[in-house]
Amino acid sequence: MAEHRFDHLVDTANGTISRELFVSDDVHRAEQEHLFSRAWLFIGHESQIPNPGDFFTSRMGEESVILCRDRASKVHVFLNTCRHRGMKVCRYDEGNTPLLTCPYHAWSYSLDGKLVGVPMYDKLYEGVLDRAAWSLIEVPQLANYKGAVFATWDPLAPPFEEYLGGARDHLDLVLDASEGRAGGTEVVGGIQKWIVPSNWKFGTENFMGDSYHNVSHRSVDLVGISPNARSGIKGRRASELPGTEHVWLSYPQGHGVHSLRLPVENEYVDAFRDEPEVEAYFRRCYDERKTRLGPERSRWVGLVGSIFPNLSFHGRQPHSLFVWHPHGPRSMEVWRFYLVDRAAPEPVKDFLRHYYMRYSGPGGMTEQDDMENWNYATAASSGTIARRYPYNYQQSMHASVSSAPGTMQTTQINEQNSRDFYRRWVDYVSNRDWNVLMGRDVL
């Protein structure tokens, strides 16, 4: 494999990563050019666009895209730019429309992307403008995985499920409903969006399993915001069943997860004791899930994880998906999508929505701590002198073992997931081919 100018920034053998990854314009440009233009990216959830004509404006890297459902109910993802002079065709966050009409000179596009309206066409364009050739620019590949819509700009990218690899089992723990029904979740409430003066990779890495930073959440744990808080139980989430094992896995495609494995003999632990209706619902789901998935598979519970490059999730509490959108090298826009079981009673959804907001987002007591760390780390890494010194990634250097080809697993807090993420990251920004990016070259 040919040496690339970015290779020296990532030294996983010695556990060092250059600060350039988090502050440099040059690195940021390479990410836009070679990483966000090729990787599969999360766009939105189909529950946000249930009806024909529904749209949700999303992002792929730094570019705006429109997720919409056409009149035949087919889902599309278009670049949000007019083919005439580039005006943003859709300036709303979400809604329903029969047509996407450009505000500048009023070219109109149908929800399947076709250019259907050009003012004064007969007089000004007849015989010259081939409308069929000037549709909205559509992604060449789109995947709807259990309601979560992903897309890539690369026609040569492998199919989404191959891209997911073994991390799929853990994403399932997020997208499936609590009673184990495949893809039985939906987005509740609006999307929370906010800007953090930090590089996007801080988010991805934190959610690959950086439990080491729990100390920074000490104050919220002392306050106690868990669903059992009114019963005087401290912490951020409900208690774990004694004997639960924490498992970290990193995958050859660059994904990393931190999931829980319950003991063989397991039972429901009170998680919503202040709310009898919510508690009864989740107790029933627990038993149903065991029956549906069987004793082995039902032992796995999702905690956190990141799908390469910028989708992360909370599997259990607060159940959500979030995206770290780059906004230049030292700024990101965070989007949080909160999930609930589609079939849950309304009071359950409502209770969860309140808990999620207490925990997450710019006003959430837990997430504020993370923002503060990433914000100041970025500022303190940006100076000429600071940039000469790499970050340390030597934690649990030899703890992980191979559990499947290209997959590393451990039960101790580690930075293996991060090291493996950055090893894959450097392959993307160096524009290496899909054999390398999928880890096929070492399998």
- Interface with ligand FES (CB under 6 A): 82, 84-85, 87, 102, 104-107
Cis (ω within 30 of 0) for the bond into 197?
no
Segment near Fe ion (CB under 5 A), from 233-241, 363-371, 397-405, 427-435? 363-371
In the complex, least distance from residue 371 CB atom to Fe ion, rounded to whole angstroms? 9
- What gap in Å lies between CA 27 and CA 7, rounded to an integer? 12
205 lies in the site for Fe ion, by CB under 5 A: no
The residues, any chain, with a CB within 8 Å of residue 59's CB and separated by 6 or more, are 65, 323, 325, 333
- H-helix or E-strand spanning residue 283: helix 276-297
273 makes contact, choosing from Fe ion, ligand FES, none, with CB < 5 to 8 Å by partner type, with: none
C-beta nearest to Fe ion: residue: 370
82 makes contact, choosing from ligand FES, Fe ion, none, with CB < 5 to 8 Å by partner type, with: ligand FES
Nearer to Fe ion, 205 or 370 (CB): 370
- Report which DSSP code applies to 192: E
212 makes contact, choosing from ligand FES, Fe ion, none, with CB < 5 to 8 Å by partner type, with: none
Instruction: Identify which of 190, 76, 187, 191 has the alpha carbon closest to the alpha carbon of residue 136.
Output: 76
Measured from the Cβ of residue 436, the count of other Cβ atoms closer than 10 Å reads 17
Nearer to ligand FES, 68 or 102 (CB): 102
- What gap in Å lies between CA 284 and CA 305, rounded to an integer? 26
- What gap in Å lies between CA 134 and CA 82, rounded to an integer? 9
Nearer to Fe ion, 150 or 356 (CB): 356
In the complex, least distance from residue 112 CB atom to ligand FES, rounded to whole angstroms? 18
Nearer to Fe ion, 78 or 338 (CB): 338
Nearer to ligand FES, 119 or 347 (CB): 119
Task: Quickly list DSSP for 309-333.
Answer: TTEEEESSTT-EEEEEEE-STT-EE
Nearer to Fe ion, 329 or 364 (CB): 364
Amino acid 333 reads E
In the complex, least distance from residue 89 CB atom to ligand FES, rounded to whole angstroms? 7
The residues, any chain, with a CB within 8 Å of residue 190's CB and separated by 6 or more, are none
105 makes contact, choosing from ligand FES, Fe ion, none, with CB < 5 to 8 Å by partner type, with: ligand FES
In the complex, least distance from residue 241 CB atom to Fe ion, rounded to whole angstroms? 22
In the complex, least distance from residue 82 CB atom to ligand FES, rounded to whole angstroms? 3
Pairing state of beta strands 41-45 and 148-152? antiparallel
Nearer to Fe ion, 145 or 194 (CB): 194
In the complex, least distance from residue 102 CB atom to ligand FES, rounded to whole angstroms? 3
370 makes contact, choosing from Fe ion, ligand FES, none, with CB < 5 to 8 Å by partner type, with: Fe ion
Among 370, 415, 420, 427, indicate the residue that binds Fe ion (CB under 5 A): 370
Please state whether 55 falls in left (phi above 0), alpha (psi between -120 and 50) or beta: beta
Task: Quickly list DSSP for 149-172.
Answer: EEEES-TTSPPHHHHHGGGHHHHH
Nearer to ligand FES, 129 or 357 (CB): 129
Do the beta carbons of residue 120 and residue 147 sit within 8 Å? no
Q: Which residues bind Fe ion (CB under 5 A)?
A: 370
